Structure 1
């Protein structure tokens, strides 16, 4: 049986693989223990997609579960504009686009394509500014790098990989104050 990687963990893995562990440890607890304003805002923004009220256009598909057997991925897309083949990931605010976020979008695209959907455009939609940010479609080299990343994700063993504290990342981690690897405090207090 193939163990599927949740698309939502791709960015987390690049940020800090240990944060995935902490997420799983604390996910059954009160989110107010660790969720900061950005996560709370992001969750409320996603409610319109999850409840399928973000768009009333007949050709828009919202909150579609997707998977890829080839890549061993599963997750959900935010918006797919069927008529023009545009896949959109909605974010409240994007001060910077990180490689992990791009990998998430590529993963969604690869799942959709494997499921028979035509994807011609990729974009992030920044809700706070009402701005569409186009993302370049991956070329063959990008896909090769993505496959290598997925392979590293699958082979990752925390017991064999030394944990290196990155104070800048720790300061921006919502689990920082609950983490046993650092004494840093996060910026969200």
Structure 2
């Protein structure tokens, strides 16, 4: 059976493939060892979605497990507003939207449409500012870009050398646990 890619790892892979390894090593550990304030805020803000108490509207679907056989993806969506055909990915704070976050939203979109749901609009919702940030549906060129990214992910060799990027390393939640860098992290 083919291994499915967790949608949540798409952004991590672009950030640093080694962070996925570290996440899996420390997944059973005390999160306070590596989660910084932004991750803790995100977990707290996400509680309503994860516990399916965010909305009582019957047309709002929260925390739905999704998959795509075509792309070999598996994960969960935050919120699908069925009446509006709107898929929303909630984030506590978005100072900047990274390509990996776009890929995660597209992945959720591809999963939902493959599963038979109608999605016509995509958006991020920034909880800290109560702001919706619309994202265009992927074009044919962007779909091809996404497919190439998925191939790169699937063909990645974990034995390949890690490129240490000090500006990324200092923002990595696994920085203090990483054996690839000596860069101090910004979280203290």
- TM superposition score normalised by structure 1: 0.98
Deviation (angstroms), 1:149:
0.2
5 Å-filtered alignment, 1:18-29, equals 18-29=18-29
The equivalent of 1:181 in structure 2 is: 180
1:67-96 deviation line (CA, Å, top 9, x unaligned): 000000000000000011100000010000
The equivalent of 1:54 in structure 2 is: 54
5 Å-filtered alignment, 1:39-188, equals 39-159=39-159, 161-188=160-187
- Structure 1: runs of 5+ lacking an equivalent: none
Structure 1: 4+ residue segments shifted above 2 A: none
Deviation (angstroms), 1:37:
0.3
Deviation (angstroms), 1:54:
1.3
Deviation (angstroms), 1:158:
2.1
- Structure 2: runs of 5+ lacking an equivalent: none
Contact 1:177 1:184 in 2 (8 A): no
- TM superposition score normalised by structure 2: 0.99
Deviation (angstroms), 1:8:
0.2
- Structure 1: distance between partners of 2:63 and 2:35: 22
Deviates more, 1:100-109 or 1:51-60: 51-60
Secondary structure of the 1:54 match is coil
CA RMSD of aligned residues (A): 0.6
- Structure 1: distance between partners of 2:126 and 2:147: 28
- Structure 1: distance between partners of 2:83 and 2:2: 33
